[in-house]
C-alpha cells in the first residue's frame, strides 16, 4: 500500500511538473504575443500621428492654394478699384476694366462692374460683363430683365456689409453654365457714395482643378464648403453645389461626428473629427477655415488608408506569429507527449523492477534467513547474508538439513536484472528439488545443469558451489561449478582445493567431478561470491583475498564473522557504489568427530618397513567386512602401502622411532582412510606425477608410489594440523 501511494504521489508530482512546464511555455508565448501586439499598437499610434501631421500639411497646402486664389481674385478687384472709381462717371469705359481684370488674372473667369441702380441717372441699370469661355474673351451685359442683377447675392451682400464679399457658389447662366463663386466689392466714388459693385468670378471647376489634389493617400479627398455648408469642391466634381454638409449628414449615419463637423466648419473653426461611414469605415476629417471667405476646407482620409501598410504588415506579422505559435504548440505537445511516454515507460520499468524485486524477495524469503537456523543443534553454527546491489542481481545461497546431512550451495548468476533474477530463482528451486533425492553434490550439480539446457541460448550461466556435510563424521562432499573456491578454516585459513569445472548452463552434457574432505571439530567453511573479493573502493582497488583472510583471522561465531566482514567491506569501499550483490555463507563445524562411530579399523605402525605386511591383513579384514573383491582389496593394499611406506621412509629422521596411524572408515558408498603421523611436514600430494608414458631410458626409478595412490584412490587430500601430517584417501565403492 505504502509503495503504491508513493508511486501515485510521484506520478502526480511529475504530472504537475509537466503541466507546470507547459503553462510556463504558454505564458512565455502569451508574453511574446502581447509584446508584438504592443508593438503594433505603438506602430498604429505613430502611424496615426504621422498621418495627422501629413494631413495637416496637406490641409494647410490646400488652404494656401485656395487662399492664394482668393487673394489673387481679391487683389484683381483691389487693383482695379481706383480706376473703377474714376470710371463711375463714364460707365462706357467700365467694360474695359472688366476685360482687364479677366485678361490679367488667370484665376478670374469673369468680371463685372454693376452700377448701383439709380446711381447714374442716365444708366439706372448697367453691368458690363467680361468672361472667358473656351479660352476666348466674351463680353455681355448683365443688365437684362431676365438676369436682373440687383437681385443677386453677389450684388446685394457687399452693399449690405459695405466690404468685399465671397458669394455662395452658384450656377452662372450668363456665360454658359459655370459653377462659380464671386468675389464682389462695393465701389465708392470720390465722394464716398457707393456707386457700383465690382466682381471677380472664380470657376469652381477651375478651382478644383488647381487645388485640393491630394496625393498623400489614394482614397483621401478634400472638400471645400461655403459658409452655408454648400460643397464647392468635392471628391467628385459633379458633387459641387449639388450637396451641402447637411445633405451629407443625412446620408452618413454618424450623427455625432457629422454634427460636430458641421458645427466646427460652419463656425470657421479648426479641428479633427472622426466620422464612421458604412462603406468606408472610419474617416478622419481635418478641417480649417479659409480666412475672409467664410469657407471651410476639409481633408478626409479613411482610417483604412492610414493603416493600410500597418495593417498589411500586422496581418503578415500576425500570420507568422500564429504560424510560429502553432508550430511551438505542436513542438511542445510532441515534446510533452515524448516526456509523458518516457515517464510512462519509466513507470512501467519501475513497476517491472519492483515486481521483480518482489518476486526475488519471495524467493529470498524461502531461503533460510533466521539465524541461528538450527537452534536445537550445537554441532553447527551457520550465518549467511545477501546484500543486494541496487539492480536486481542474481546471487543466491541456500542450505537445509536432511537426514543428518547439511545440504548447502552458493551461486552467482551472470548478468543482472530480470533474466538474472529469474535464473537465480530457477537455480534455487532446482537445488532444492534435486537435492531432496540425491546426496552426491556432483549429481545435484549435474541435475541442475541438465535442467538448464534450454537456458544456454541466452548465453547466461551460473557459477555454483554445492556441498553436502555429513554431520556425524564431518565428511564433506562438494562439487564446484566454476565458482570461486570457498575458504576453509582448519589450523589456518586457505582456499579450498577445488576443481574449476564449468559453470552451470554452459554445457548440458557436462560431467562434474566431485571432491571430498573431512572436517574436524572447529573447522569452518566460508563461501562467498565475487561481490566481496571484487568490492571496489573509490580508488578502484579490489577488496581481495588477503583482506578477507585478515578479517576472518579472528575467532568469532559465524554471525560475528558475517558482521565483521560486512563492516570491513563498508569501511573499504567508503562511498563507492556497490556494483554487485554481496553474498556469503559461513559454516562452522562444531561436532566432536574425533571418534567417529563409523570407524571400522584402526592400525598403528612403527616407522619400520618390516611392519608393512600388517597392512595386508588390515585391508583383508576391511574387504571382508565391506564385501569387496580381491582385485579391489589388492589395489587398496597397494595404495595404503605406498602411502605408509612414504611415511616410514621419509617422515622421521633415521634412528628415531615414530608412528603411523591408519584409520579406516566404512561408509555406504566409500571407504575412507586417514593416515596421520607426527613426522616433519610433508605434502605428498604436492609432488608432481610420475610420467608413465616415458620409455625405458628416460624413465625415472622413483615417484611411482604417490602416483599409484592418486590413481587408485578417488580423492586424496593432505593437511598439516596440530603437528600432524594428515592424509585423507577416499575410495568409492
Partner 1 sequence: MEVFIENENNVTTARFVGRLDTPASQEVTKSIEPILENPTGTIVLDCKDMSYISSSGLRIFLTIRKAAAAKGGNVIVKDINNDIRQVFMMTGFLNLFEIQ
Positions touching partner 1 (CB under 8 A) are 609-610, 612-613, 616, 630-631, 634-635, 637-638, 641-642, 645, 690, 692-697, 699, 701-702, 704-705, 707-708, 711-712
Write the DSSP symbol of residue 192.
S
Q: Which is nearer to partner 1, 26 or 704 (CB)?
A: 704
Cα 643 from Cα 726, distance rounded (Å)? 11
Q: Which is nearer to partner 1, 184 or 646 (CB)?
A: 646
Helical H segments across 403-520, by residue range? 417-435, 441-451
For the bound state, the minimum distance from the C-beta of residue 553 to partner 1, rounded and expressed in Å, comes to 41
| 715, β-bridge pairs | 730
Q: Which is nearer to partner 1, 333 or 609 (CB)?
A: 609
Angle in degrees, CA 464, 465, 469, rounded to 5: 150
Contacts of 327 (CB under 8 A, 6+ apart): none
For the bound state, the minimum distance from the C-beta of residue 703 to partner 1, rounded and expressed in Å, comes to 9
Cα 400 to Cα 275, 413, 715: the distances in Å are: 104, 21, 25
For the bound state, the minimum distance from the C-beta of residue 672 to partner 1, rounded and expressed in Å, comes to 21
For the bound state, the minimum distance from the C-beta of residue 661 to partner 1, rounded and expressed in Å, comes to 18
Q: Which is nearer to partner 1, 370 or 701 (CB)?
A: 701
* DSSP letter for each residue of 397-411: EEEEEETTEEEEEEE
* DSSP letter for each residue of 284-307: EEEEEEETTTTEEEEEEEEHHHHT
Query: Residue 318 is placed in which grid cell?
Result: 500576425
Contacts of 550 (CB under 8 A, 6+ apart): none
Q: Which is nearer to partner 1, 333 or 694 (CB)?
A: 694
Q: Which is nearer to partner 1, 107 or 712 (CB)?
A: 712
Q: Tell me whether strands 194-203 and 281-290 are parallel, antiparallel or unpaired.
A: unpaired
Q: Which is nearer to partner 1, 211 or 623 (CB)?
A: 623
Tell me the CA end-to-end span of the chain in Å, nearest whole number: 59
Q: Which is nearer to partner 1, 145 or 697 (CB)?
A: 697
For the bound state, the minimum distance from the C-beta of residue 680 to partner 1, rounded and expressed in Å, comes to 20
For the bound state, the minimum distance from the C-beta of residue 613 to partner 1, rounded and expressed in Å, comes to 6
- SS3 call for 24: helix
**How many CB atoms are located within 10 Å of the residue 3 CB?**
9
- SS3 call for 597: coil
The number of angstroms, rounded, from the C-alpha of 224 to the middle of its chain's C-alpha atoms is 68
Q: Which is nearer to partner 1, 568 or 647 (CB)?
A: 647
Q: Which is nearer to partner 1, 599 or 612 (CB)?
A: 612
For the bound state, the minimum distance from the C-beta of residue 655 to partner 1, rounded and expressed in Å, comes to 18
| Exposed e or buried b per residue across 63-98, where buried means at least 16 C-beta atoms within 10 angstroms of its C-beta | bebbbebbebbbebbeebbeebbebbeebeebbbbb
Query: Residue 26 is placed in which grid cell?
Result: 504558454
| CB 386, CB 395: distance < 8 Å | yes
Write the DSSP symbol of residue 458.
G
For the bound state, the minimum distance from the C-beta of residue 372 to partner 1, rounded and expressed in Å, comes to 48
Q: Which is nearer to partner 1, 108 or 643 (CB)?
A: 643
For the bound state, the minimum distance from the C-beta of residue 701 to partner 1, rounded and expressed in Å, comes to 5
Q: CA nearest 584: which of 427, 733, 409?
A: 409
| CB 49, CB 155: distance < 8 Å | no
For the bound state, the minimum distance from the C-beta of residue 685 to partner 1, rounded and expressed in Å, comes to 16
Cα 585 from Cα 562, distance rounded (Å)? 8
If you search the block for the grid coordinates 537452534, which residue do you land on? 375
For the bound state, the minimum distance from the C-beta of residue 697 to partner 1, rounded and expressed in Å, comes to 7
Q: Which is nearer to partner 1, 60 or 711 (CB)?
A: 711
Q: CA nearest 568: which of 599, 590, 537?
A: 537
For the bound state, the minimum distance from the C-beta of residue 562 to partner 1, rounded and expressed in Å, comes to 46
Q: Which is nearer to partner 1, 521 or 694 (CB)?
A: 694
For the bound state, the minimum distance from the C-beta of residue 689 to partner 1, rounded and expressed in Å, comes to 11
83 φψ region: left (φ > 0), alpha (ψ -120 to 50), beta (else): alpha
Q: Which helix (H) or strand (E) holds 728?
A: strand 724-732
For the bound state, the minimum distance from the C-beta of residue 460 to partner 1, rounded and expressed in Å, comes to 41
Q: Which is nearer to partner 1, 36 or 614 (CB)?
A: 614
For the bound state, the minimum distance from the C-beta of residue 632 to partner 1, rounded and expressed in Å, comes to 10
For the bound state, the minimum distance from the C-beta of residue 670 to partner 1, rounded and expressed in Å, comes to 20
Q: Which is nearer to partner 1, 375 or 688 (CB)?
A: 688
Query: Residue 429 is placed in which grid cell?
Result: 528451486
Q: CA nearest 414: which of 569, 530, 585?
A: 530
Q: Which is nearer to partner 1, 279 or 695 (CB)?
A: 695
The number of angstroms, rounded, from the C-alpha of 511 to the middle of its chain's C-alpha atoms is 54
| 494, β-bridge pairs | 488
For the bound state, the minimum distance from the C-beta of residue 443 to partner 1, rounded and expressed in Å, comes to 27
| 284, β-bridge pairs | 274, 301
* DSSP letter for each residue of 229-247: -BEEE-SSGGGTTT-BHHH
Torsion of CA 16, 22, 26, 28, to 10 degrees: 100
Q: Which is nearer to partner 1, 208 or 635 (CB)?
A: 635
Helical H segments across 585-733, by residue range? 614-626, 630-650, 704-712
Amino acid at each position: 500500500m505504502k509503495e503504491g501511494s508513493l508511486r501515485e504521489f510521484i506520478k502526480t508530482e511529475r504530472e504537475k511538473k509537466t503541466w507546470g512546464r507547459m503553462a510556463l511555455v504558454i505564458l512565455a508565448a502569451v508574453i511574446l504575443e502581447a509584446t508584438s501586439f504592443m508593438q503594433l499598437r505603438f506602430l498604429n499610434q505613430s502611424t496615426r500621428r504621422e498621418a495627422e501631421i501629413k494631413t495637416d500639411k496637406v490641409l494647410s497646402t490646400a488652404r494656401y492654394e485656395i487662399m492664394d486664389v482668393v487673394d489673387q481674385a481679391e487683389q484683381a478687384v483691389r487693383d482695379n478699384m481706383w480706376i473703377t472709381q474714376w470710371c463711375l462717371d463714364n460707365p462706357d469705359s467700365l467694360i474695359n476694366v472688366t476685360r482687364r481684370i479677366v485678361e490679367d488674372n488667370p484665376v478670374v473667369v469673369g468680371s463685372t462692374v454693376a452700377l448701383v441702380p439709380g446711381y447714374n441717372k442716365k444708366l439706372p441699370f448697367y453691368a458690363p460683363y467680361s468672361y472667358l469661355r473656351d479660352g476666348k474673351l466674351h463680353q455681355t451685359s448683365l443688365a437684362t430683365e431676365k438676369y436682373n442683377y440687383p437681385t443677386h447675392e453677389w450684388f446685394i451682400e457687399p452693399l449690405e456689409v459695405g466690404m468685399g464679399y465671397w458669394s455662395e457658389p452658384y450656377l452662372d447662366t450668363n456665360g454658359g453654365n459655370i459653377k462659380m463663386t464671386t468675389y464682389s466689392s462695393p465701389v465708392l466714388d470720390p465722394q464716398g457714395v457707393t456707386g457700383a459693385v465690382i466682381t471677380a468670378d472664380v470657376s469652381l471647376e477651375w478651382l478644383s482643378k488647381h487645388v485640393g489634389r491630394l496625393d498623400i493617400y489614394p482614397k483621401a479627398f478634400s472638400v471645400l464648403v461655403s459658409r452655408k455648408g454648400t460643397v464647392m469642391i468635392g471628391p467628385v466634381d459633379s458633387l459641387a453645389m449639388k450637396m451641402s454638409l447637411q445633405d451629407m449628414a443625412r446620408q452618413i449615419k454618424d450623427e455625432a461626428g457629422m454634427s460636430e463637423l458641421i458645427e466646427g466648419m460652419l463656425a470657421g473653426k479648426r479641428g479633427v473629427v472622426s466620422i464612421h461611414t458604412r462603406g468606408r469605415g472610419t474617416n478622419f476629417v481635418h478641417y480649417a477655415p479659409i480666412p475672409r471667405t467664410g469657407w471651410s476646407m476639409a481633408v478626409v482620409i479613411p482610417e483604412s488608408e492610414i493603416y493600410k501598410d500597418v495593417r498589411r504588415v500586422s496581418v503578415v506579422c500576425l500570420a507568422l506569429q500564429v504560424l510560429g505559435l502553432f508550430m511551438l504548440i505542436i513542438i511542445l505537445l510532441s515534446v510533452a507527449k515524448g516526456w509523458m511516454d518516457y515517464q510512462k515507460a519509466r513507470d512501467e520499468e519501475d513497476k517491472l523492477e519492483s515486481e521483480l524485486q518482489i518476486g526475488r524477495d519471495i524467493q529470498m524469503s524461502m531461503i533460510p534467513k533466521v539465524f541461528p537456523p538450527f537452534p536445537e543443534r550445537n554441532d553447527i553454527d551457520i550465518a549467511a547474508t545477501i546484500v543486494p546491489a541496487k539492480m536486481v542481481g542474481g546471487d543466491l545461497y541456500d542450505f537445509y538439513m536432511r537426514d543428518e546431512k547439511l545440504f548447502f550451495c552458493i551461486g552467482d548468476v551472470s548478468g543482472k536484472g530480470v533474466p538474472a533474477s529469474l535464473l537465480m530463482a530457477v537455480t534455487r528451486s532446482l537445488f532444492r528439488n534435486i537435492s531432496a533425492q540425491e546426496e552426491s553434490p556432483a549429481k545435484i550439480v549435474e541435475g541442475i545443469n541438465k535442467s538448464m539446457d534450454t537456458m544456454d541460448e541466452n548465453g547466461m550461466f551460473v557459477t555454483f558451489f554445492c556441498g553436502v556435510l555429513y554431520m556425524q563424521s564431518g565428511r564433506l562432499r562438494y562439487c564446484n561449478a566454476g565458482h570461486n573456491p570457498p575458504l576453509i578454516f582448519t589450523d589456518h585459513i586457505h582456499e579450498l582445493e577445488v576443481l574449476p569445472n564449468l559453470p552451470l548452463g554452459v554445457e548440458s552434457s557436462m560431467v562434474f567431478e566431485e571432491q571430498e574432505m573431512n572436517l574436524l571439530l572447529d573447522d569452518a567453511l566460508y563461501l562467498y561470491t565475487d561481490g566481496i573479493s571484487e568490492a571496489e573502493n573509490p580508488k578502484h582497488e579490489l577488496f581481495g583475498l588477503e583482506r578477507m583472510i585478515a578479517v576472518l583471522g579472528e575467532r568469532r561465531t559465524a554471525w560475528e564473522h558475517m558482521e565483521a566482514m560486512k563492516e570491513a567491506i563498508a569501511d573499504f569501499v567508503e562511498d563507492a557504489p556497490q556494483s554487485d550483490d554481496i553474498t556469503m555463507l559461513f559454516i562452522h563445524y562444531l561436532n566432536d568427530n574425533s571418534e567417529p562411530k563409523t570407524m571400522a579399523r584402526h592400525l598403528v605402525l612403527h616407522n619400520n618397513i618390516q611392519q608393512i605386511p600388517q597392512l595386508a591383513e588390515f585391508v583383508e579384514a576391511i574387504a571382508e567386512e565391506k564385501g569387496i573383491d580381491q582385485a579391489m582389496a589388492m589395489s587398496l593394499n597397494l595404495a595404503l602401502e605406498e602411502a605408509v611406506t612414504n611415511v616410514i621412509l621419509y617422515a622421521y629422521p633415521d634412528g628415531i622411532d615414530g608412528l603411523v596411524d591408519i584409520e579406516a572408515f566404512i561408509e555406504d558408498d566409500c571407504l575412507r582412510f586417514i593416515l596421520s603421523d607426527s613426522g616433519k611436514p610433508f605434502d605428498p600430494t604436492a609432488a608432481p606425477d610420475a610420467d608413465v608414458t616415458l620409455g625405458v631410458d628416460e624413465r625415472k626409478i622413483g615417484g611411482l608410489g604417490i602416483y599409484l595412490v592418486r590413481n587408485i584412490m578417488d580423492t586424496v587430500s593432505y593437511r598439516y594440523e596440530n603437528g600432524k601430517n594428515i592424509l585423507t584417501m577416499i575410495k568409492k565403492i
